[in-house]
Amino acid sequence: MPRPVSRELLTFGLIGIGGLFVDMAALAFALHGLGLDFYGGRLFSYLIAVTFTWYMNRRFTFVGISRRAALKQWAKFTAANSIGALVNYGTYVLVLQVGPGILAALGLDQMLGPLLPYAGVAAGSVSGLVFNFAMSKFVVFRRPA
């Protein structure tokens, strides 16, 4: 029996929150462990996070809908969510570009400036949620007709 869309969206959102933390942890590792810059580090963290969210959505959100080959489904999930990824990444870049000026104007640049990359990840994740859910539900994990 199909799950209600509201339950799928809730599960998708909760997994997205988990993905956000995976993304931030991977970004911290990329920046401080691998020595990547903010942009290369973000690409690295996105790939880790998209793999986590694909697996968790396959396992918990869209259970029993599609069990095709994992690698093929991962590739389809990644491709289908690529526009959402562009929105996500664009929002991240926007926060990095505009954030310092806003924080400086508010006198908060010294205190909050180091947190901008992580705020960018959070803003990017929220911006792509609805688009990524729709692509996942109707393209990647769609029920057979």
Residue 66, pLDDT above cutoff 70: no
3-state secondary structure of 22: helix
Confidence class of residue 31 from pLDDT cuts 50, 70 and 90?
Answer: very high
With 0-12 CB in 10 A as exposed, 13-18 as middle and 19+ as buried, what is 26?
buried
Task: Compute the distance between CA of residue 106 and CA of residue 25 in angstroms, rounded to an integer.
Answer: 28
The predicted model scores a pTM of 0.71
Q: What is the pLDDT of residue 95?
A: 96
Question: Which SS3 state, helix, strand or coil, does residue 11 take?
Answer: helix
Which pLDDT score, from 0 to 100, does residue 130 have?
Answer: 78
Question: What per-residue confidence (pLDDT) applies to 1?
Answer: 54
83-132 confidence digits (pLDDT tens): 888 888 899 999 999 999 999 999 999 999 999 999 999 898 888 887 88
- Helix ranges (H only) for 4-144 are 5-28, 38-56, 70-80, 82-106, 109-112, 116-135
61 pLDDT band (50/70/90 cuts)? very high
